[in-house]
Structure 1
């Protein structure tokens, strides 16, 4: 009786297991069927910028040094004892301001002596002139020999010559006296005095008393390579001063805030270095520019032209190739190989591969592959958010210019 109940329970359990297996198989089959009819993958969100042409000017960058437009060594033109130094080292002075004084007494004495000689020569010339006039009247009446008349005329001429010599001696002495007062020949900044009061100085001294440099304008001198020289416009390359724009920044200044112009191109290239000497002229209104300072220089090359610019973040690398991902009219991603040009402060010039109107992925390129469906969000060309209905601004374009466009 007990064995009968056991067999009955075992058969019931087997039936339950069989029914459960069939139910699981039916659910698995349903799941597989549902999987075969699943919805497509969602579109991948990316930021997209519409390409526009921008008018740009190519620039070349150089390193150089500042030079004074005018530099003068102050030297004495007469010898004597230095009695005064009439400036403070390193100060600004104006043309004509006194700088040094040399003891004038010996030169004043020379002027007095020359003046006395001129007075004597003038008196002698007056006497010989009167004597000649009297001899001319006597000669008319044959009251004097011709020989005596010629002697008096010769004496008058010699006296007149002595007057001219005395006048020249006086002017020379006066000039030497003026040279005892040494004044600034230009407007500019004076260096330190190399000689102090009490020293004897002279025109033959090897060391100048001091030096002066102009400060209102300075040159930035640098070397231009041959290729850049050939790219310049014909007018600028001819060596004529033109309005070729040149920008400059000092070592502690960001960018190139100072504007100048081309001032000089040398007449030949150095065959050893393949460069040509160039100077640009810059105003110095704040007085910060000093000769010898290091300068970063940027000069325009060629004429303005239209170009496509992209941020580096939107450009990928595929072995030796550079590429971007564009979005077509069906919002499908596509691979586009590009050729890069110059680097312009974080922007790259795209020489080939893109045209105006192309939509380029600028953020999210690493998440997509060619053929993927994307959900594009319009942004600026630099990746910044774009206001509703606004066009992407050109790099470097001000808000007012964007509004007008």
Structure 2
């Protein structure tokens, strides 16, 4: 076997060249994202609340005595006047009670008359020494008792007469019937609500407020009220009432907004209304788009870009109230920090990113905040 010694130098050069190349460098993916610089703005974000038009005063009426409904005199939506009959109970039972009371008054009056005659006869006999003083005192006491029983019987009869008048339910104010809870033939208890009347006059919007906006709503001087049926019109509203406790189900606070200078022909009861609370000056807040928020295991986080290394890291934040497509950041972010707004679900902690369109995104957010 021949050895080609001339080829050995060439093989050595090739081997030396292969050893000098080293390991290939690993490729690091740089993901393009959009981001904005977090900036503070004077004032809090305005908020809109949905509600319905209601009357400030509403009467839930019921009979003052129990009985069977004999007649319903109004319909749902009927306009009523003060003193107008709304329902009637069957008066037969109350009439029998009054008749019995009249008989009791007559009997008590007869007993009182007889006691008065007995006293007069005893007084005449006492003057002629045919009766004792004890008999006179006893007859006088019997007369006093009979007269007291007569007064009690008369009072009882008057009460039953009044109760007979309770079989007619009348409206206590001018307004409109908004609810009917009983029909003819139904037996109702005393005090049970059977008709609801919304009074004419002031109109309000009933809304629910989250606990994070209570203080802000109290500071608003003028609210804007609009209705779905007339989107081109607005009215001024004022906070009149705020519940001291939350609702057991929604955990929100009920509020009543009084509408000023409203037109009753336009704002009808039950209409869907919106109450807008404008921005409140005097506070400094950070606002970011909703697309920047990452929700993981109940934690609200954002991706923050390190300007030196262009790497991202998750930062937990405390959020305030949302408006449109933005949300307030109450804590967790500092002014000037770069926050990723697009591509947040494709990132990993420590990943390098390339910020694209940062200036454009920031200008769009500024324009949205100026609305």
TM-score by length of 1: 0.50
Residues 1:182 and 1:61: Cα distance change in structure 2 (over 3 Å) = same
Q: In 2, distance between residues paired with 1:196 and 1:123?
A: 45
Alignment match of 1:107 (pick from 80, 83, 94): 94
Q: In the alignment, is the contact (CA less than 8 A) between 1:248 and 1:259 conserved in 2?
A: yes
Residues 1:131 and 1:296: Cα distance change in structure 2 (over 3 Å) = same
1:203 aligns with 2:204: no
- Give the drift of 1:250: 1.0
Alignment match of 2:204 (pick from 212, 219, 223): 219
1:72 aligns with 2:49: no
Q: In 2, distance between residues paired with 1:130 and 1:342?
A: 99
Q: In the alignment, is the contact (CA less than 8 A) between 1:189 and 1:212 conserved in 2?
A: yes
The residue matched to 2:244 in structure 1 has which SS?
coil
Q: Which has the higher contact order (CA 8 A, sep 6+)?
A: 2
Q: In the alignment, is the contact (CA less than 8 A) between 1:263 and 1:281 conserved in 2?
A: yes
What pairs up with 1:26-37 in 2 under 5 angstroms? none
Q: Deviations over 1:320-377 (max 9, x none)?
A: 6449xxxxxxxxxxxxxxx95984xxx55xxxxxxxxxxxxxxxxxxxxxxxxxxxxx
What pairs up with 1:2-401 in 2 under 5 angstroms? 60-69=47-56, 70-75=58-63, 77-80=65-68, 82=70, 84-129=71-116, 131-132=118-119, 144-191=131-178, 197=184, 199=185, 201-203=187-189, 209-231=194-216, 236=218, 244-254=221-231, 257-268=234-245, 275-282=252-259, 285-299=263-277, 318=359, 321-322=362-363, 340=366, 343=369, 347-348=370-371
Q: In the alignment, is the contact (CA less than 8 A) between 1:66 and 1:290 conserved in 2?
A: yes
Structure 2 residue runs of 5 or longer lacking an equivalent are 1-42, 284-356
- Give the drift of 1:274: 7.5
Superposed CA RMSD in Å reads 4.3
Structure 1 residue runs of 5 or longer lacking an equivalent are 1-55, 238-242, 306-315, 324-338, 349-405
Q: In the alignment, is the contact (CA less than 8 A) between 2:63 and 2:167 conserved in 1?
A: no
Q: In 2, distance between residues paired with 1:273 and 1:200?
A: 34
Flag as ranges the 4+ runs of structure 1 deviating above 6 A: 136-143, 270-274
Residues 1:317 and 1:149: Cα distance change in structure 2 (over 3 Å) = farther
TM-score by length of 2: 0.54
Larger Rg: 1
